[in-house]
Amino acid sequence: MLNLQIIIGSTRPGRAADRIVPWISQAAREHGAFDVDVLDLRDWQLPIFGETFATLGDPANPTFSEPEVRRWNNAIMAGDAYLFITPEYNHSVPAVLKNAIDSVFATFAFRNKPAAFLAYSGGIGGGIRAVEHLAHIAIEAEPAGRFTRATAWSSSASRIDRSRYSTCSTDGQPGSAPGVR
């Protein structure tokens, strides 16, 4: 079975991810093709990215500048596929998520593995700008595939309601949801 890692990209108290993660992780488990691990960035005390090739030690078995960075890299390497769940902050992703992705640069742990994005926002865009930016960030991590679809919905809903989500394209093509261009 494939190991799907759901990475929660927000550490804020009261985050909407706490309502989304149980629903999406249950759906992934019910799919039957995945063992699901939730990696909550609240549980990872990653230092602000400061790695260089000098701090890595042996490139074949990096030690990194902090043990937590090595532990994070080992956790990511154990995954076969990734689902990033992120809010949209100022048309982008939280710094903690960008930092977590950057911290994997030396091991290429995301390389050639599928990645998907789920974003939310209290604004009209429903997180689409966060997904757009995250797709550009992820390109450097070299996951498999081409990023063409994004799922997003507004966190202003009082509960998760599948009729409130829409899909739209991040490659400039119209999305499948009404009114998405």
Whether 98 has a pLDDT exceeding 70, the answer reads: yes
What span, in angstroms and rounded, lies between the C-alpha atoms of 40 and 32?
22
**Based on the number of CB atoms within 10 Å of its own CB, is 80 exposed (0-12), middle (13-18) or buried (19 or more)?**
middle
Q: Kindly list the structural domains of the chain, giving each domain's residue range(s) and its CATH number in brackets, ordered by start.
A: 2-169 (3.40.50.360)
Whether 5 has a pLDDT exceeding 90, the answer reads: yes
What pTM was estimated for this model as a whole? 0.79
Confidence of residue 106 (pLDDT cuts 50, 70, 90): confident
144 vs 69 pLDDT, higher one: 69
Confidence of residue 170 (pLDDT cuts 50, 70, 90): very low
Confidence of residue 123 (pLDDT cuts 50, 70, 90): confident
Confidence of residue 38 (pLDDT cuts 50, 70, 90): very high
Confidence of residue 149 (pLDDT cuts 50, 70, 90): very low
Whether 46 has a pLDDT exceeding 80, the answer reads: yes
